[in-house]
Chains A and B, each alone.
Chain A
Amino acid sequence: DAGVIQSPRHEVTEMGQEVTLRCKPISGHNSLFWYRQTMMRGLELLIYFNNNVPIDDSGMPEDRFSAKMPNASFSTLKIQPSEPRDSAVYFCASSLGTGVHEQYFGPGTRLTVT
């Protein structure tokens, strides 16, 4: 079975450029989560969706970050404009629900902003 799919796996971009990260959740999962991980701050929840609807975006650091989930099989996280401090690994995860169920992570996108 296919797990959570993320693209690209690596992204190097210059400060000020727009970055779009993509995620395909596991088929049948109705919850999707975007995380950012750095050495200093660990794994941070940015935003999550349930049945394609954003439930909590309080973790989104700034207005430069936005996320969409136009359908059950696709989500994007966009950073515009990007800054060097956005450099991190961005993970997408999906689960059968938002509460008690375990989450399954994609391989992540390693973003470097120079």
Chain B
Amino acid sequence: RKEVEQDPGPFNVPEGATVAFNCTYSNSASQSFFWYRQDCRKEPKLLMSVYSSGNEDGRFTAQLNRASQYISLLIRDSKLSDSATYLCVVNYTPLVFGKGTRLSVIA
């Protein structure tokens, strides 16, 4: 069964806070992992790919733990503009999207 599980949130955090999301997947053979961002009433957009060694893009860090089959996204120094829904994506051919974690950054 193709499953990608995420905590739906919402996560309500103050500006400047660090917040982390986790996502678990069920297919140990999956090879590609992504985080997408979806703003209200907009389409999902690729935020970053997730590599086995972990990767960082500015304030965002993504990590993959194959042994435990989970992916994480860390956001440092949260901005108001980070408020969105974050979708975990895993390839089962085709890609499978989680239902998303809602983040609200509060001034």
A98-B93, A100-B91 in contact; A107/B43 too (CB < 8 A)?
A: yes
Q: Among B17-25, B62-70, B94-102, which stretch is in contact with chain A? A: B94-102
- Give the residue name and chain of the B residue nearest to A99 (CB): B93
Interface size on B, residues (CB 8 A): 19
A100-B31, A102-B34 in contact; A43/B94 too (CB < 8 A)?
A: no
Query: Which residues of chain B are within 8 angstroms of A48 by Cβ–Cβ distance?
Result: 94
- Give the residue name and chain of the A residue nearest to B33 (CB): A100
| Contact string against B for A residues 72-114, beta-carbon threshold 8 Å, 1 for contact and 0 otherwise | 0000000000000000000100000011111111111000000
Among A98, A99, A101, A105, contact of B43 (Cβ-Cβ < 8 Å): A105
B59 at the interface (CB under 8 A from A): no
- Give the residue name and chain of the A residue nearest to B48 (CB): A102
- Give the residue name and chain of the A residue nearest to B92 (CB): A99
A61 at the interface (CB under 8 A from B): no
| Contact string against B for A residues 13-33, beta-carbon threshold 8 Å, 1 for contact and 0 otherwise | 000000000000000000101
Q: Are A103 and B95 neighbours in the complex by a CB distance under 8 Å? A: yes
Q: Are B97 and A102 neighbours in the complex by a CB distance under 8 Å? A: no
Q: Give A87 to B49 CA distance when docked, in angstroms.
A: 31
Q: For residue A1, give the distance in angstroms from its CB to the closest CB of chain B.
A: 15
A42-B100, A100-B31, A100-B32 in contact; A105/B44 too (CB < 8 A)?
A: yes
Q: For residue B42, give the distance in angstroms from its CB to the closest CB of chain A.
A: 7
Which residues from chain B sit less than 8 Å from chain A, CB to CB?
31-32, 34, 42-46, 49, 87, 91, 93-100
* 4 more A-B residue pairs beyond the given contacts A42-B97, A43-B87, A105-B45, with a C-beta to C-beta distance below 8 A: A42-B100, A105-B44, A106-B43, A108-B43
